[in-house]
Amino acid sequence: MSAPDPAKIQIFRERLREEWTGDKTVAGWRKWHAQIAAFTRGATEAILEAAQLRPGLRVLDLASGVGDPALSIAWKVAPSGRVTATDLGPGMISLAEELARNQGIANIEFSEANAESLPFADASYDVLTCRFGIMFFPDLAKALGECFRVLKPGGRVAFVAWGIKEQPFFTTTAGILLKHVPVPPPPPDPDAPNLFMFGERGRLQRALEAAGFRDVHEEDRIVPGRWAGSLEEYWQQFSEIAAPFRPLIEQLTPVKKAAAVVEILAALRKFWNGKELTLPLEIVIGTGTRP
């Protein structure tokens, strides 16, 4: 990894905080959390397996959002294991706390935590997990250094990130929006956090190795993303939760937006069986251990 430019990183940090802790994003995730959990079930199963969980382990889940996969991890390590679920802002994690209470999960605590400066002691966790969060860490090397620091020697990391951009999750929605925006966004800064950055084969593996992890393994996998509601609802949900793409939607005039939505629904229909939508989600799983 090349040395990051501190001024650029500061800009990425401000943008990400605004995108992910802003009221609109938090409200969208609170509204759709149950459907998101069902849609991403395959990714949850992948990280539970990659983390090699068992009762008794102490687990730190980063960027936990509204509680996936932290709440499922808590069941796996119960009764003697514990999970610390964390997120950049209080909005998402407060719903995770509410859900845990409703489900009677007692072996979990919640904390606001920035992955770049974790408020936890050295060598305090057996396992560190993070699903769909690592792509947003502005200074990736710094965040992975923190992951390394808080793990016990022999401890394990398990990350799940989005795979390549050219997959239906993107091409049926944001890919179509991009064709309709009046001013196409400039090409992305290669150093900037990017939802699909780990679609580049070997990138996650290299980042984990550079941070000092051993026995690093990277795997691409396709898991089914199932949505039992209507296509219109799926699009509505996407437009409310997909923080990085909201600026694209907000640029469109009502006429352009209506045209884009017609195209989006037509693209989604190819994955619709009359009852449910199933998108093949390409994810990347990265694991390693602290020597």
Ligand X SMILES: C[S@@+](CC[C@H](N)C(=O)[O-])C[C@H]1O[C@@H](n2cnc3c(N)ncnc32)[C@H](O)[C@@H]1O
Per CB under 6 A, the segment of 71-79, 127-135, 168-176, 250-258 that binds ligand X is: 127-135
Q: Are 209 and 216 in contact (CB under 8 A)?
A: yes
Q: Does 133 engage in binding with ligand X (CB under 6 A)? A: yes
Q: Which residue is nearest to ligand X (CB)?
A: 65
Q: How far is the CB of 112 from ligand X (least distance, A)?
A: 9
Among 125-133, 165-173, 265-273, 277-285, the segment contacting ligand X (CB under 6 A): 125-133
Distances (CA, A) of 54 to 63, 75, 125, 126: 22, 10, 14, 11
Looking at the Cβ atoms of 89 and 212, the one nearer to ligand X is: 89
Chain center to CA of 29: 12
Stretch near ligand X under the rule CB under 6 A, chosen from 100-108, 132-140, 168-176, 199-207: 132-140
Which string of x and - marks every residue 71-100 that binds ligand X (by CB under 6 A)?
----------------xxx--x--------
In b/e form, how buried is each residue of 184-209, taking b as 16+ CB within 10 angstroms?
Answer: eeeeeeebebbbbbbbeeebbbebbe
Contact of 107 with 131, CB cutoff 8 Å:
no
| 7 burial via Cβ count (<10 Å: 0-12, 13-18, 19+) | exposed
Q: Does 16 contact ligand X by CB under 6 A?
A: yes
| Residue placing its CB nearer to ligand X in the complex, 68 or 218 | 68
Phi then psi dihedrals of residue 255, to 5 deg? -65, -45
Q: How far is the CB of 233 from ligand X (least distance, A)?
A: 18
12, 20, 196, 227: which one binds ligand X (CB under 6 A)? 20
Q: Tell the smallest beta-carbon distance from residue 230 to ligand X (Å).
A: 22
Taking phi first (over 0 means left), then psi (-120 to 50 degrees means alpha), and beta for anything else, what does residue 115 get?
A: alpha
The one among 12, 39, 137, 227 contacting ligand X by CB under 6 A: 137
In angstroms, the CA 150 to CA 67 distance is: 21
The correct pick among 12, 39, 110, 132 for binding ligand X (CB under 6 A) is 132
272/40 Cα distance (integer angstroms) = 17
Contact between 131 and ligand X per CB under 6 A: yes
Using CB under 6 A as the binding rule, whether residue 68 contacts ligand X is answered as yes
Q: Which residues bind ligand X (CB under 6 A)?
A: 16, 20-21, 62-65, 68, 87-89, 92, 114-116, 131-133, 136-137
